[in-house]
């Protein structure tokens, strides 16, 4: 199940939950909620945080994938260069 699907489900299913929140965070949310309810603002911030976390995880996975791919490409490039030098030396 993807984060998107979870967020869609959460958006449609409001489940009352009791959480402990630091007073400074609660005050900041209160100041920035505008005309929305406190719950709507908290949900918006949680969605953003989860999306940001997912992006960071995907970036990390991509970096690991391309680092491994680049290493393999370099080995092939070196082998090709050696073969080219040998071929040119024969001529």
Q: What integer pLDDT is reported at residue 76 of this predicted model? A: 79
Of residues 12, 15, 32, the one with CA closest to residue 24: 32
Over residues 45-49, the mean pLDDT reads 94
d(CA 7, CA 57): 17
Q: Per-residue confidence at 91, pLDDT binned at 50, 70, 90?
A: low
pTM over 0.85: no
Tally the C-alpha atoms within 13 A of residue 27's C-alpha that lie toward its C-beta: 3
d(CA 76, CA 68): 13
Is pLDDT at 60 greater than 90 in this prediction?
yes
Tokens of 76: 């092939």
- For the chain, the straight-line distance linking the first and the last C-alpha, in angstroms and rounded, comes to 60
Tokens of 33: 């909620």
Q: What integer pLDDT is reported at residue 48 of this predicted model? A: 95
**H/E stretch holding 5:** helix 3-12
């Amino acid at each position: 199940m993807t984060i998107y699907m979870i967020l869609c489900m959460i958006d449609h299913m409001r489940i009352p939950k009791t959480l402990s929140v630091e007073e400074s965070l609660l005050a900041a949310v209160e100041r920035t909620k505008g005309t929305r309810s406190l719950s709507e603002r908290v949900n918006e911030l949680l969605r953003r945080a989860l999306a940001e976390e997912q992006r960071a995880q995907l970036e990390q996975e991509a970096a690991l994938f391309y680092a491994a791919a680049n290493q393999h490409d370099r080995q092939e490039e070196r082998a090709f260069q050696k073969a080219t030098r040998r071929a040119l030396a024969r001529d």
